[in-house]
Structures are given as C-alpha cells and as structure tokens.
Amino acid sequence: MDYQFKDIEAKWQQFWFKNQTYRVENNTSKPKYYVLDMFPYPSGAGLHVGHPLGYIASDIFSRYKRLKGFNVLHPMGYDSFGLPAEQYAIQTGQHPAITTETNIKRYREQLDNLGFSFDWSREVRTSDPNYYKWTQWIFMQLFNSWYNLEKDKAESIDTLIAKFEKSGSKGVQAVCDEDCTIFTADEWKQKSKEEQQKELLKYRLTYLRESTVNWCPALGTVLANDEVKEGFSERGGYPVEQKKMMQWSMRITAYADRLLRGLEEIDWPEPLKEMQRHWIGKSVGAMVSFSLAPGFPKGGGTEPNDDLAGARLEVFTTRVDTLFGVSFLVLAPEHEFVSSLTTSEQKEEIANYIAQTQKKSELDRMSDIKTVSGAFTGSYAKHPITGTDIPIWIADYVLVGYGTGAVMAVPSGDQRDWLFAKHFNLPIIPILDVQKELDIQADPTKEGKYINSGLINGLSYKEAVRLLIDELEDRGMGKAKVNYRLRDAIFGRQRYWGEPVPVYFKDGLPYLVDEKELPLLLPEVDKYLPTESGEPPLGRAENWNYHDQFEYELSTMPGWAGSSWYWYRYMDAQNSQEFAGKEAIAYWQDVDLYIGGSEHATGHLLYSRFWNKFLKDAGYVKEEEPFKKLINQGMIQGRSNFVYRLVNEEGKSTNTFVSAGLRNQYKTIALHVDVNIVENDVLDIHQFKSSRAEFADADFIFEGGKYVCGVEVEKMSKSKFNVINPDDIVARYGADTLRLYEMFLGPLEQSKPWNTNGIEGVFKFLRKFWKLFHDDAFNFFVSDQEPSKAEYKALHKIIRKVEEDIERFSFNTSVSSFMICVNELTDLKCNKRKVLQDLVIVLSAYAPHITEELWMLLGNEAGTLSYAKYPKFDEAYLIENEFAYPISVNGKMKMNLTISLGLDASEVEQLVLANGDVQKYLDGQSPKKVIFVKGKIVNLVI
RNA sequence: GCCUAGGUGGUGGAACUGGUAGACACGCAGGACUUAAAAUCCUGUUCGCCUUAAAGCGAGUGCGGGUUCGAUUCCCGCCCUAGGUACCA
C-alpha cells in the first residue's frame, strides 16, 4: 500500500492513548530529564499553525531523550484562569468554567492530532480547585514569611516575632515597607494584637498596603507593571492610569539581587537575560542627604516654614564623585516636599508648572524629551560637605517612582542636567581636568583627576568614590546604596475568574483562613461585573463569609499566580497532601529544558524564579533556579493576502477587483482576503464569489488571465484572515509531514512568516522513505542481506548528524539530512533491514506515526519504538582512505584532486605539483608556498 | 539614544572550531511517461561575460577597510532590519 498517513496516524494515536505509552513513573533507576512547554491559555480561537512550533521541538527532544535511555517527564496542561473567558461571561452570562472547559476540549483535540508524547495523566489546570488549593497554600506561606537580609533568605514570620520579643526591631535587617518603626522589646510587648499585626504586615512577603497602582478602568482592575505596555493594558490595549489603592503585593524586591545573580548560572537566550537584568535595573551608587534647615526658605522667602524643620532632602546618585559639581537639586513635581518648600513668591509659578505636567499624559511626557521645563521653588538646601546653598527646582524629567524622586544635578557630567542648566542659566561647574567642550554638551567621563572638588581634588574616580562615601558616612550625610528599578508586584485583581485570596478581615486587618479549609472555592455570582458600590465581582456572592462572620478578601489573584509554580505540580499531579511530594521533587528537581515565547520575559519567567527561590528558602524544593535551559521559539507570523477593490470617481467602492500587479493604474482600496481561498497568491475566483453575498457578482481585472493577490506579513489572527489551522494541514498531508515541515522552516528561535508552499517537499520525502520498505507494487519488502559499505555509511552519517543536531536544537538541519540520507538510500536501492530498522528509530523522534507503523511491519512489538535504543554511531563506517582535495591557487578554488589520506605533506605536494591540470593553473611558475591541511585543502601561493 | 539578535540566490535556508559559498527544499525552465490531467521520474537553475558546444574567464555572503596562504566565519568603522527599553539620576 502507498503511504496512507490518515489510517496510520489515527491508528497509532489511538494505540498510544489506549496503552498509555507515554505515561511516566517517578522512577529513580533511570536518569531523569524534564522537558517543559509553556502551557497555553485555552482561548476560543483554538491553535493556529504557529502554536505547535515549540511543542513539536520539545516533543522531538523528549522522544530523543527517551531513546537515549532517560526517564522523560513531558507534561502538558492549561493556564485556564484569565480575562477572555471572563469578558465572554460578562457578555453572555455563560460561566467562565464552561467556556474554559469547551476551549480545553478543542485544544486537546488539536494537540492530539499532532502525535505529541505528553503524559496526560499529569495534566494540570490552574482553575481546578485541586490545583489552586496549592496556589492559595503558597500564598499563605508567603504571607507567613519575611526576608532576613542577614541570612539573605526568607524565613518564617515566627523568627521575626521572636526577634521583636527579644530585642525589638533595632538591628533587624529585613526587607520591609519604608515606614517601619523602631521599637524596643518592651514596646513590642505593649502593643495590642492589632498593632502587632499591623507592624508585621510591613514585613510579610505578601502584604496589603496603600500603593500607587496601574488602574485600568476599562478592565475594572489593577495591573502589574509587566501587564502595562506604554501606558496601555497588554490585554485589550485599554488606557491605564495611576491610582492610590489598598492592594495586595508580593515583595519580589527582596529577591532582586538573587534574581539578578541567578541569571549568570542559567542557560537562557542572551536577549531574555538582558530584559530581566534591565527590568531588575540594579544601579550601584549612594544616598546623599541635603539638609534644609536652618534658615530656609531663603532667597526672599517671607514666611518661615516649620513643616520641614530639620528635614533632609534625600537624593540617590550613581556618581557621588560628582558631588562638588552639584549646582542645583531637582524634585519630581509630585515629590512630597514640594508644597512646603515653595516660597510665597514662587507659589504661582510652581502651581502653574504642576498643573501643566498633570495635563500631560504619560505618553506625552515620554515622547517629549526635547523640551526643557521646570520651576524654581524659591528654597535652598545645604551642600552636605561644603555647606553652600543649592537652589531647589522641580521638573518632570525627574520621576517620583524611581530612587527618591529627587536628584542632585551635575550639569558638567549629565546631559539632562546640562540642558536644564543652560535653559535656566544655572552654573556649570567642571569637576574633572579632562572634561572638554562643556559649552556644547555635558561630558560624563570618569577619567582624569578631580578639580574644584575640595577633599577629592587630584584623586582618580575610584579613590574619590571611596573617600567621599567614608566622609559622608562620618558626617551622617550619606551612605553607599544599591537601587533597583524592580517594584513589588501588585497581586490583586478586581476580577472574577481567578484564584480567591485565602484571607478574611477582622477589624480591618487581614488574616489567613485555616489551612485545613483550603481550597477556598470561587463562589457563584449572578453577574460577572463589579457591584453597584464598586466592589469586585466576588462582592456579589451571597453569604460568602469566613465562619459566617468575617468578610473575605474580594480580589482574586493575578494570571501569573497559577503559572508561577505549575512545573512542580506535574511532578506529582494527583497529590492531595502536598503541592508535590518530597520524593517526587527530589527525583525531578528542576526543568532541564523549557521551551516557550520570549513575551513572558518580565512576567511569568521572573515571577516563577521568584516563587521558586522562596520555595527553596522555605525548604520545599531543591534548586535555586527552576529552568536550567530555556529556548524561545520564534513567532510564526501570518502571510496575509489582499484583493484590491476599485474605487470610482465619487470615491465609492465598486464591485470590481484589480489584480495586484495592475493596482497602481487604478484607485483601489485593499481588503484582506481569506488565505485559504488563495493558492500561490492566485485567487480562487469561484470560492471568492461564494465567500460573501456581496462578492457574488464581482468583476475582475486580471493579469495574465489570473487574479493575483497582494501579500503582507502580519501577526496571525482571525481579523486578518490569515490563520492557518494545523488541522487543515494534518488532514491534507498528515501530522508527520506538518511536524517535519515546521522544523524544516528554519532555526527554531527565528521568527518567520508561515508559507505552506514548501510542504510538498517534506511530504514527498516521507513517501520516498515509505518506498524504501516496499517494492514497486507497494508490498512490504525488506531484505535480510548484509548492507554494503555505502549503505552503512549513509546510515551512520545520519545517526551522528541527528544526535549532534538535536543536542544543539538545530532541528531544521536534521530534516535536510534525513532527506539526503533517504535520497542516498534510494539511489543505492537499499532495502536492508539492518539499515532501515535503525533509520526508523532515528527518524521516530520527528515522525512518530510513520515510523511506528514501519517498526511494526519490521516485526517488532507494537508500541515499543518509543522506548527503543538510539543506534550507536560507529566511526569505522565513515573512515575514508581518500579525499577529493580542493586545489586552490591563492585561496581561489580551482579543481579537485583525489589523494590518499595516508600521505604526508611533502608527498601530497609532489603529487599535486606533478599533476598536469595543476601545472596549467600555475602557468609555469613554481609556487612560493604550499599550504596543506590534511583532509581539508591544498592551497598553492604564487 | 541605549541593549540584544540578525543581514547569504527568485524564496525558506545550509556551511558546527577560518579551509570547495549556496547543502536540502520550494519555485521556475526544459524533458520523459500519458489521449489528457494528476502522480512520478530525469536535466538545468548565484550573477555577468565568452562559446555552436565542451569548457573557460570574472564577480559574489548589507557597505568600506584590516588581519591571514585562505574570511559568510576574526578585528575596526558605517548602513539597514527585528525585538527589547528609555528623561532611571
């Protein structure tokens, strides 16, 4: 029989399912290997041809590792809490659980179609109560922990309480809110229970506090920083504003440095590591204090200002060495000191300026970086060393959110400060002898010796920094300080379809529910909208109280909660006692290979590392980093097709369509056309006419008798009519062809537009492969004769090649090599069992169905192929005793000459020079030099 | 602006540590089989020049330099594309 992919694929998919071929045990006798895909959100649109790219690669890798004798964990599940199902619920009233269930079913069908070797017995769904029970449990562990800086790890909150009881808060080195107070042990004991809880909340790793949050009115919820892109929500693209709110947060900043250091040890793509480094944004510098008292406001101020008596203006700088170049201070307009610092003379100006900046949107403020603006408060601060008066300004180039919201301006070293100084005519003080062209721009050099700089005059950068920090510390006016851009992650969402936060309120303070009462189930509500009083949808749940008396937290957890630990659940998915058993974790440890998109760089991948580190501190897991190696598969873009509709003189659309090549001769508008009725950019007129009623009597202006469509590469999406469904490809060519083709398309990491054109080549290859095992009448026919040297050579080349390629994730080159191998064996008319059986094993990782069928036809037990042994490569079959040397003259290849590899340099030289054709190229000259690299090249230099 | 990755035929791409540039495939052209089509098979296909042909000559991996017997690969400068990021003090 000819290659009947439909029958073969259906048969084996059923076989694998029935026999649970890919079910994996936590078996300690074999070495483990954990291959993980980023689990999908099951959207209503289903999978398009781009989604499986990474899954195919990870499946090939998993199958390969199995053949290599590893016990491979290769699971799949669903990140099934999320906005789209909830938005749909708001529109239709259908419970998000039902939508989600339907979508998951569809996803499963599509995934099953592709022959993946997932162990579905370990499937997880983040919206399943048996799963989110543990998400809530981890939340509780975080709530019950604080970060001890002395040990650089998280600890139980009990150890903090013990410290407070023993010696108060003095000397406690913790990551905490800025408003932590200093108290003694006695003072602690005198505090009421509530006061103690309030204080502890400032230390807990998940905490509730009033903070400025990203509020998205259209979605009715707060968003984490990584969910906001350029002032708009990542999902939906709605505007986001800043708002002060009581909110749950995760103290991820406690882990900032460990998150940064950990990047050194993991094998991740460099761009992704860079993104995380930048997101964490460590900068090493110093805090410097500028005192305001005594005698301010100065410079004409009339009223003495007591609000800030004795207060200091704190400034963060990465260049303390430039301290003597400070000629003014700049505060963010929102800085809390601004109103107190403003003198009556300056009041109007400052008020105007603040009003002006408030009018500007976030976007305007970012895009308009050319215009220099600011206003003088009228007040002065004292330079911490010289004591000189420094004017205090406000300007919107200083951001409240970073550092202290105030900067010391050094116009000679910083371009923004320089522009500001020029604009407002403030002094520009040179501080290094090598600074040049200060009348044109700032010079941020660290070279040279200091001038105009008091105690550091004549010193170099490094010496100056050390001396200055010592001096500032002595005076109590500053200290070395590391600053991070990373903010604590907002953890609550005012939404329905998420994990309930296992917290209730008593006297306004949050308390955890009893662990035994987990999971705290998501209650039923009549509508999925906020309540009339503006509370989140959970506020609609009736009689939803803790022990019938205390109010539950009404926010739910964000999307990233469930995905921040799911890889552990796969290790022991059915465990009802723990999130995963100790033994299971000890065996599987961490993810060896993680494949997924780079869009999760600063979200999921950062949060997961954070939770993992916390779980390690708490003693539940072994590894500091969860994902040893990570690969980003490229995005498969859509290839959109267009038709061009003629526009008449009145500017109205007609029903005539112009072929792409002629469109410049007419006035047209472009319309997306469904790519499924276009082949090689030629429109199927018949299908086009029947696609929509309005096109039924369309006219066409053809070129060369055809209607040619325009082409553009865009994101694959329904609205652009460029979605290719993998099901359609599978129906036409089979899953094995699709798998091979997606790999053949190019390097895994590269983004590329989908183009079905080349798929025929891969399909042909599989038919050719099938033919090797069959005679001309398509009867299965394999010979038991000993293979020839050439046949063995072809086999062992592919054994080695595929091994090398898979180990370096170069799947596209393997596919080429398979083609070469099958072409060679076809030319050799090879049908020897000894060659073909091994070839079946090697190919099985890529094309599991066809190889499973042939494996059985070869007389092996059905279904055992997945656990067969990868054939051993034997160099002996590849050893040659001759080589066709390229003979080049001055580095230009001229001809080939076959020479024995046994000869040494001088013998080869003699042979080459004696050759008549070589003499022709030498043109009678004798070469100045002969370069000979054994097995590579002979180069004659003349 | 900064960071990161990349730039190779008509197209997707290959060339792993410097050693025959364009493997493999698509497309295209020509041919075989066929009444015809599909399928299959064969031949050619970087560009330019020259030639009846065989063959030959020259150029060529974004651009300009350099190192080297030899550079797609290493170094310097520039241009372009994609992704990220931004008054971050």
Question: What pLDDT does A73 receive?
Answer: 96
Q: Give residue A835's identity as a one-letter amino acid code.
A: V
Q: How far is CA A234 from CA A340, A534, A698, A914, in A?
A: 38, 23, 40, 72
Please tell me the distance from the alpha carbon of residue A383 to that of residue A156, in angstroms, as a whole number. 43
Q: How far is CA A709 from CA A412, A712, A720, A736, A756, in A?
A: 59, 10, 14, 30, 16
Burial class (CB in 10 A: 0-12, 13-18, 19+), A734: buried
CB A942 within 8 A of CB A889: yes
A819 CA – B60 C1', rounded, Å:
28
Q: Which residue is nearest to nucleotide B70 (CA to C1')?
A: A891
Copy the structure tokens of residue A633: 């598969």
Q: Give residue A138's identity as a one-letter amino acid code.
A: I
Q: Between the CA atoms of A526, A528, A529 and A531, what dihedral angle is there, to the nearest 10 degrees? A: 40
Question: What pLDDT does A234 receive?
Answer: 75
Helix or strand or coil: residue A4? coil
Please tell me the distance from the alpha carbon of residue A792 to that of residue A872, in angstroms, as a whole number. 12
Q: Which residue is nearest to nucleotide B83 (CA to C1')?
A: A271
Largest separation between any pair of C-alpha atoms in chain A: 108
A369 CA – B42 C1', rounded, Å:
66
CB A816 within 8 A of CB A844: no
**Which nucleotide is at minimal CA–C1' distance from A225?**
B85
Q: Give per-residue burial for A880-904: e unless 16+ CB within 10 Å, then b.
A: eeebebebbbeeeebeebebeeeee
CB atoms near residue A570 (< 10 Å): 24
Question: What pLDDT does A400 receive?
Answer: 79
**Which nucleotide is at minimal CA–C1' distance from A890?**
B69
Residues of chain A predicted below pLDDT 70: 1, 230, 293-309, 359-370, 680, 704, 923
Question: What pLDDT does A867 receive?
Answer: 94
pLDDT digits (tens, 9 = 90+) for A845-881: 999 999 999 999 999 999 899 999 999 999 888 888 8
Domain A283-483 grouped into CATH 3.90.220.20: no
Residue with tokens 């865009």: A714
CB A96 within 8 A of CB A83: no
**Which nucleotide is at minimal CA–C1' distance from A931?**
B69
A41 CA – B2 C1', rounded, Å:
34
- Report the DSSP pairing between strands A636-647 and A710-714: antiparallel
Please tell me the distance from the alpha carbon of residue A479 to that of residue A476, in angstroms, as a whole number. 8
Tell me if the bond preceding A294 is cis, omega within 30° of 0.
Answer: yes
**Which nucleotide is at minimal CA–C1' distance from A362?**
B87
Question: What pLDDT does A387 receive?
Answer: 86
CB A464 within 8 A of CB A321: yes
A687 CA – B71 C1', rounded, Å:
53
Ranges of each domain in chain A? 139-262+488-552, 283-483, 636-714, 727-874, 880-941
Assign domain A880-941 to a CATH class. Answer: alpha beta
Q: At what angle do helices A811-827 and A833-844 cross, to 10 degrees?
A: 160
Question: What pLDDT does A296 receive?
Answer: 53
Q: How far is CA A192 from CA A189, A197, A513, in A?
A: 8, 9, 21
Residue A201 exposure: Cα atoms within 13 Å on the Cβ side:
20
A747 CA – B33 C1', rounded, Å:
39
Please tell me the distance from the alpha carbon of residue A575 to that of residue A171, in angstroms, as a whole number. 42
CB A633 within 8 A of CB A595: yes
Indicate the helix (H) or strand (E) that contains A567: helix A566-569
A415 CA – B21 C1', rounded, Å:
48
Indicate the helix (H) or strand (E) that contains A759: helix A759-772
Residues 6+ apart with CB under 8 A from A365: A357, A396
CB atoms near residue A808 (< 10 Å): 8
Q: Give residue A46's identity as a one-letter amino acid code.
A: G
Please tell me the distance from the alpha carbon of residue A585 to that of residue A220, in angstroms, as a whole number. 39
Instruction: Measure CA A220 to chain center.
Output: 26
What CATH superfamily classification does A727-874 receive?
Answer: Isoleucyl-tRNA Synthetase; Domain 1 (1.10.730.10)
Q: Give residue A660's identity as a one-letter amino acid code.
A: A
**Which bases on strand B have an atom closer than 7 Å to a protein beta carbon?**
3-5, 11-16, 19-21, 23-28, 40-41, 57, 69-71, 82-89
A63 CA – B72 C1', rounded, Å:
34
CB A673 within 8 A of CB A722: no
**What are the backbone angles phi and psi of residue A256, rounded to the nearest 5°?**
-50, -50
Q: Between the CA atoms of A590, A593, A599 and A604, what dihedral angle is there, to the nearest 10 degrees? A: -10
Q: Give residue A917's identity as a one-letter amino acid code.
A: D
**Which nucleotide is at minimal CA–C1' distance from A395?**
B87
Please tell me the distance from the alpha carbon of residue A111 to that of residue A706, in angstroms, as a whole number. 37
Please tell me the distance from the alpha carbon of residue A876 to that of residue A897, in angstroms, as a whole number. 24
Question: What pLDDT does A367 receive?
Answer: 52
Among the listed residues A599, A641, A600, the one whose alpha carbon sits nearest the alpha carbon of residue A753? A641
**Which nucleotide is at minimal CA–C1' distance from A405?**
B89
A419 CA – B77 C1', rounded, Å:
30
Q: Which residues pair with A889 in a beta bridge?
A: A892, A940
Tell me if the bond preceding A530 is cis, omega within 30° of 0.
Answer: no
CB A694 within 8 A of CB A653: no
Please tell me the distance from the alpha carbon of residue A756 to that of residue A738, in angstroms, as a whole number. 10
CA angle A231, A233, A235 (to 5 degrees): 155
pLDDT digits (tens, 9 = 90+) for A575-593: 999 999 999 999 999 999 9
Please tell me the distance from the alpha carbon of residue A343 to that of residue A507, in angstroms, as a whole number. 43
Q: Which residue is nearest to nucleotide B15 (CA to C1')?
A: A813
Tell me if the bond preceding A427 is cis, omega within 30° of 0.
Answer: no
Question: What pLDDT does A302 receive?
Answer: 46
Q: Give residue A848's identity as a one-letter amino acid code.
A: P
CB A836 within 8 A of CB A759: no
